[in-house]
Amino acid sequence: EPEVTQTPSHQVTQMGQEVILRCVPISNHLYFYWYRQILGQKVEFLVSFYNNEISEKSEIFDDQFSVERPDGSNFTLKIRSTKLEDSAMYFCASSPGQGNADTQYFGPGTRLTVL
Amino acid sequence: EDQVTQSPEALRLQEGESSSLNCSYTVSGLRGLFWYRQDPGKGPEFLFTLYSAGEEKEKERLKATLTKKESFLHITAPKPEDSATYLCAVRSGNNRKLIWGLGTSLAVNP
């Protein structure tokens, strides 16, 4: 069964450093997403991506963040100049782009720890 | 503002003891309500999508129902392997973002 994959599973970085989180969405899906979950809090939407551009973003997704689809399979989230409060689980998701609700399927996540 | 509230926050059941989890929502123009299961340190695993009031979906020991204000996830004769956090999320209007509840942490004792 096709699934979303993410690398690395755990990333530790120093405050102020840049990190890139990588995702391979399900191959025939058209929409891609990033969410984050701070420990003990709700899952929060960051950004959605369609047809090589951002289709929607939240207030959290400021100039510190960027997304890219560098090739036909990968989807990346870059966080510039990381802050302590960026420590969280980051989930990538993809959806087919069809149907009323367009169900999103999630990867296993990357745990980001900022020291 | 779109909102999702889940209750209870935590639930402990004996194996075989059926129960229900609640997800109350306030959205403008529901496009879909989603139930996911999340194991510790893992990503949300899709369970069900519900589109309209009155709809029901079933999978093994789980059954999800939807009204205009809330959804229930009924767990019949649960087993220890059903222990997880169950998350509810909604999509509204023309947005594709999901708005999430905090989840119900379910523990099933053998």
Contact B31 A101 (CB under 8 A): yes
Peptide bond into B110 cis (omega under 30): no
User: Which token pair is B7?
Assistant: 């209750």
Contacts B41 to A, Cβ<8 Å: 89, 109, 111
What's the domain range around B48? 3-109
Place of tokens 């689809």: A69
User: What would the two tokens of residue B64 be?
Assistant: 């999800």
What is the C-alpha to C-alpha distance for residues B5 and A111, in angstroms, rounded to an integer? 25
pLDDT of residue A39: 93
Q: Do A45 and B101 touch (CB under 8 A)?
A: no
Using alpha carbons, list the distances in angstroms from residue A63 to A23, A58, A69, A80, A96: 20, 12, 18, 8, 28
Question: Could you give the CA distance from residue B81 to residue B11 in angstroms, rounded to a whole number?
Answer: 14
Flag whether pLDDT at A107 surpasses 90: yes
How far does the CA of residue A36 sit from the closest CA of chain B (Å)?
Answer: 10
Task: Find tokens 């529901």 and name the residue.
Answer: B30
**Is A45's CB within 8 Å of B98's CB?**
yes
Q: What is the pLDDT of residue B63?
A: 98
One-character DSSP codes across A61-85:
--TTEEEE--SSS-EEEEESS--GG
Q: Do B96 and A31 touch (CB under 8 A)?
A: yes
* Closest to A93 (Cα-Cα) out of A11, A6, A7: A6
Q: Which of B43, B89, B96 sits opposite A108 (nearest CB)?
A: B43
Cβ–Cβ under 8 Å, residues A110 and B44 = no
Are B31 and A41 an interchain contact pair (Cβ–Cβ within 8 Å)?
no
pLDDT one digit per residue (tens) for chain B, 110 residues? 889 999 999 999 999 999 999 999 999 889 999 999 999 999 999 999 999 999 999 999 999 999 999 999 999 999 999 999 999 999 988 889 999 999 999 999 99
Give the pLDDT confidence of A38-69 residue by residue, as tens digits: 999 999 999 999 999 999 999 999 999 999 99
Q: How many domains does chain A have?
A: 1
From the list A55, A58, A105, which residue is nearest B46 (CB)?
A105
B91–A43 CB contact, under 8 Å: no
Could you tell me the residue range of the domain that residue A20 belongs to?
Answer: 5-114
The pLDDT value given to residue B77: 97
Domain containing A88 — which CATH number?
2.60.40.10
* Smallest Cα distance from B27 to chain A, Å: 14
The pLDDT score that the predictor gives to residue B28 is: 86
Which residues on chain A are in Cβ contact (under 8 Å) with B89? 43
Which of B33, B52, B71, B98 to mutate against chain A (most A CBs within 10 Å)?
B98
Structurally, how many domains does chain B consist of? 1
Q: Indicate which CATH number applies to the domain containing B8.
A: 2.60.40.10
Give the N- to C-terminal CA distance of chain B in Å, as an integer.
41
List of chain B residues whose C-beta atoms are within 8 Å of the C-beta of residue A105: 46
Cα nearest neighbour of A31 on chain B: B96
